[in-house]
Each structure stands twice: as structure tokens, then as C-alpha cells.
Amino acid sequence: MTAATATPDKTTEIRMKYGSMSNDRKWALRWSYFFLVLFAIFFLTPPIYMLITSLKTSQEISAITNPWWVFNPTLDNYRELLTSNSYLTFFLNSSIVTISVVIITMLISVPAAFALSRMRFWGSTVLGMGVFLTYLIPETLLFIPLFKMMAVFNEWTGIALINRWWVLLILYPTLTVPFTTWIMIGYFASIPKELDEAALIDGATWLQTLTKIFIPVALPGLIAAMIFTFTVSWAQFLYPLAFTTSESQLVLPVGIITTLIKGDVFNWGQIMTGALLGAAPPLIIYAFLMDYYIAGLTAGATKG
């Protein structure tokens, strides 16, 4: 009798407890969704506004209508931009600069990270620390001394570096190399020591160990570093603004504002279109390689 009454009590008790746990979870989920939606709205509003504005004519943009609605959609802005020589030049310059910077950065930072993480040599820890510290200095502090250096270099050698698009190939790596080296050090550190020892015994040189073992094993980290470099180079604004001036030498972010803002006349439709089109390449790359990017960043963060 007692047993019979006790049993259902117990089950209800257990069920209630279970119920409260899932209640907890429900609330946690509600809060997560609330903040996620908030963040999504916050970050998606500008691009959506850009998209809306890019589909409007100049008259509609300056007219007093609802700015969140397109009454007479048009693709004129896109047509004009994609047929204008200067925009295509900017796009081409940006592409060349970015791809070259990605290659240069990888060529420097991967061997550097390998050396700093694996080849114990005098001062390697100090150097590793130094690499990280250089990343902490903002470019806003660096561009004036860098400009001066280029000017002095010009005086001494007669080689003009300023107002040439390829000067960016020297400047951007000062931003990208420290960080990618840091990511790769963390990633290489997570590779067990025995793996390079096995390769060493198998007869691999340091270079072969790097190319045949480390790079393939650390590929997710490498891709993360490449995406980072790509994003930084593609979006870089200050250096090209300071170092390049001729229209033929400009990259996309600077080109858009210098050619589409004439005095106090803002060609908003084309500015928005240009920015939107400029955002497309990183977007496409992220969409395809996002998983690698996250895997690479977290590995560097926790095991580095």
C-alpha cells in the first residue's frame, strides 16, 4: 500500500524537476534569441539600407519619401558603375593588391611562425612576443612615420614609392604579418612535437617538414590566416588614402569616396552601390570558408 502510493509521488517529483530544467533552457533560449535578433538588426540595417538606396535614383534619394522603401526601383547605379572605367580600375587594383598581400603575408608569416614555434633558438621567445606587440600598435600611429620613411627613401634613391599602388604591397603586410604569424604560432604549437621528430628521422629537412607535414596539418589555421589577411587588405582605408592619390592608383574603398564625392555633392546611389559591390568578395569567401575560419581561430586561441 505504502509502496503503491510512494511510486507515483516519486515520478511526479522527478518529472517536475525535469520540467524545471527544460524551463531553464527555454528561458536561456529566449534570451539568446532576443540578443541574436537585436545583433542581427543592428548589423544588418546598414547593408540593407545600402541595398535599398542603391536601387533608387538620385531624385528619389533626395525626395522626402519613406527612406526604407523603393518606389521606382532602377539598376541605373549598377549599370553606370560597372561601365565606368575608374570603378573597374579600383576593383582591379584592390584585387591585385589584396591577392598579392595574401601571398606575401603567407610567405613571410608561415615560415616565421614555424621557426618561432619549433626551432628553439636564442631569443625566439622574445621575438615571438615582439611580433605580437607590433600588432598592438595602431596604423593611425604608423602612417605618418611610414610616409616620412618613403619620402626619405625617395630622396636617397630617387625611387618614388608614394602614389604607386604597389607601395601598398609593402605597407599592408606590416598590419597582416604580425597577426597571422601569431595565429600560425598557436596553430603550429598544437601539432604534437613527435610529428616533426618523426619527419626528422624519416629524413625530412626543416623545409620539407614545413611543406609536407605542417602546412597540410595546419591547413584550417592557414585558411583562417588567409581570410583575415584578405579582409584586412580589402577593407584597408587609411594607408591607401594617405599614400595614393592618382585615380589610376586608387583601391576600391578610397576610390569610391574620392571619385563619387565631388565637393559637397554626394552621389549617394553610386556610393552605396560601389560599397555594396565592394563587400561582395569578402562575403563570398566567408560564406565558403567560415567553418575553417572559426576552427582556425579557436585552435589558435585555446592551444596557443
Partner 1 sequence: MAEVHIRKVVKKYDEVLAVRGIDLDIRDHEFVVLVGPSGCGKTTTLRMIAGLEDITDGEIAIGGDVVNDVPPKDRDIAMVFQNYALYPHMTVHENMSFGLRLKKFPKDEINRRVDEAARILDITELLDRKPKQLSGGQRQRVAMGRAIVRNPKVFLFDEPLSNLDAKLRVQMRIEIKKVHQKVRTTTVYVTHDQVEAMTLADRVVVMNHGVIEQVGTPTELYHNPRTRFVAGFIGSPAMNFISCNLQEEGGQLKLRVNNDLSLPVPPARAGKYMQHKGNGSVLLGLRPEHLTEARSQLEPGVVAFDANLDVTEPMGMETLVYFPINGETICGRVNPSAGAKDGAPLKMAADLNQMHLIDPKSGLVL
What's the closest the beta carbon of residue 181 comes to partner 1, in angstroms?
A: 22
CB 87 within 8 A of CB 254: no
Rounded to whole angstroms, the Cα distance separating 242 from 9 reads 76
The yes or no reply on residue 264 touching partner 1 (CB under 8 A) is no
CB 159 within 8 A of CB 153: yes
CA distances from 226 to 110, 183, 282, 296 (A): 11, 11, 11, 10
The yes or no reply on residue 103 touching partner 1 (CB under 8 A) is no
Rg (CA), the chain: 27
The yes or no reply on residue 192 touching partner 1 (CB under 8 A) is yes
The yes or no reply on residue 207 touching partner 1 (CB under 8 A) is no
The yes or no reply on residue 224 touching partner 1 (CB under 8 A) is no
Q: Which is nearer to partner 1, 187 or 243 (CB)?
A: 187
Taking the CA of residue 239 as centre, how many other CA atoms within 13 Å lie in the half-sphere pointing to its CB?
27
What's the closest the beta carbon of residue 211 comes to partner 1, in angstroms?
A: 12
Rounded to whole angstroms, the Cα distance separating 44 from 277 reads 16
- 46: cell is 546598414
Rounded to whole angstroms, the Cα distance separating 180 from 24 reads 41
The yes or no reply on residue 211 touching partner 1 (CB under 8 A) is no
Q: Which is nearer to partner 1, 8 or 216 (CB)?
A: 216
The yes or no reply on residue 247 touching partner 1 (CB under 8 A) is no
Residue type, 212: K
What's the closest the beta carbon of residue 200 comes to partner 1, in angstroms?
A: 5
Question: Total binding residues for partner 1 by CB under 8 A?
Answer: 17
Taking the CA of residue 244 as centre, how many other CA atoms within 13 Å lie in the half-sphere pointing to its CB?
27
Mask for 144-183, x = binds partner 1 (CB under 8 A): ----------------------------------------
Range 126-150 burial, b when 16+ CB lie within 10 A, else e:
eebeebeeebeeebeebbeebbeeb
The yes or no reply on residue 280 touching partner 1 (CB under 8 A) is no
Contacting residue, 146, 213, 251, 275, with partner 1 by CB under 8 A: 213
Using CB under 8 A, which of the segments 2-10, 136-144, 166-174, 187-195 binds partner 1?
A: 187-195
**Residue matched to cell numbers 595602431:** 138
Contacting residue, 131, 199, 250, 297, with partner 1 by CB under 8 A: 199
What's the closest the beta carbon of residue 213 comes to partner 1, in angstroms?
A: 6
The yes or no reply on residue 120 touching partner 1 (CB under 8 A) is no
In the complex, which residues of this chain contact partner 1 (CB under 8 A)?
A: 192, 194-195, 197-204, 208, 212-213, 216-217, 219
